[in-house]
Structure 1
Amino acid sequence: MFSQLKPIAICQHDATQGPAYLQSYLDLCQLPYQIFAINHGEAPPLSCKDYSAVVLLGSNASVNDPYLWIKQEEVLVQDALTRHRPMLGHCFGGQLLAKVLGAQVRPNAVPQIGWDPVRVTAFAEAKQWLGDQAELNLFHWHFETFQIPRGAKRLLYGRYCLNKAFAYGPHLGLQSHMEVTSESIKAWCKQDRQSLLNLQHLNSVQSEEDILQNLPAKVAALHKAANFTYHRWLQQLPGYRPCLDNAEHLAC
């Protein structure tokens, strides 16, 4: 069905921060993609002429770090903007998109880790990207935050971080993680257990026990929201036609 659609380029920066649920969504929608394992030394493409869209995943790095791969991804993002290829940024990815669009990325007032509700703004774009819900319970794990780029619209805001998502034409930047699964969240907690313990004095950082409490139900609700947003984003791809075979399970 999608043989003519160019693959989606996915930049992965950390072993535990993979495309996870997004990958499952693309598989069920039978969409082609190529994962660039930056954490294993692969270089990101410098152009998206061979790709229909770009996904930028999370990272333990800051977009302000002087790493070569970050500079290379900035070139990729600028090329995608020039070619009008839709981009989707999760956390670090949203920050990198904001930076290339001229917005500042700086330390957040407090680290934010765990589940926390965010409010949907009144902009028409927020409803288009997120649906009719006034509030979403999202998963967060970040230490920095982005300003809203000039010409973009804030979609979400939270109590520990004001700017939780923005839309800029066909591009979406998230300061949260819609792509996580129960397995990936458990892996993050295991990998950064000491950081969680060190930050337990902050109200904005949940304990591992609180993060994992009722995890299947929280992830199921998150994925329901992700279905709507991912479907909306895929509609921006040139030549994309929604599939109906899996509509009972996904909004694709």
Structure 2
Amino acid sequence: MDCIVRINEELGGDFFYLGLEPLEPIADIRPGRFFMVRCSQSADPFLRRPMSVADYKKDGSGFGLLVQIAGWGTSLLSTLVPWDRIDVIGPFGTNFEVPDKARSVWSVAGGSGVAPFLGLVDHTEGHVDHTVFLGARTSELLIYADRLKDRGASVITATEDGSAGEHGLVTEPLIKKLDSGEKPDVIFTCGPTPMMRAVAQIAEAHGIKCSVSLENRMACGFGACVGCVTKKRGEDNYITVCSRGPVFDSFEVEI
């Protein structure tokens, strides 16, 4: 489906935000789901790139993508200007789901992993207390901390070089908050695999339900190429992240 570029905003570091308006409303956009994005009008690059939904309108008339330049395809996307057109397929995959009776949600994000939590905070504001633990290597790579605060979330930041927030890994303030006696109904996490593995282990040790959003490399987006498989926990079977995920219960998959 063709979308019109409404916004291309540089965010610092290698990040930029694309605000898109589809020619027709798109149903079932949810936090954690993703689009397969064509990066140019030519066949180079040939493969689409998977992009997690950031914010979105409930009526499907607009949505945003948080993109980090990581190669040729994303570099091309960074050159788009308002009124350009971009072709997307989707949305695909599972999403983060807040339990009906939940009153407290903690989300742990690393770098571009903050993307799905923008929409999650937007569309649960006033219904749950949301705390976002946001980590990055440096302050330049901390994306959307202020926006999350403006939407009513409590934001706790950590940087590995100590340039903003707590000095260290984002899991450290998470552990401190749990050790203080606070406990959420559910923990969501998205970002680098080692971070998500640590978050899942911490959640399980405290008896807290945890959902993880895996970021395996994808080529097709709907399970045909079997290029994004991950191992099921406690089994020898593998499942495709694009069609069975990307959001999984942490007990379901090996991270």
Q: Output the TM-score relative to the length of structure 2.
A: 0.27
Name whichever structure is richer in helix by fraction. Answer: 1
Name whichever structure is richer in strand by fraction. Answer: 2
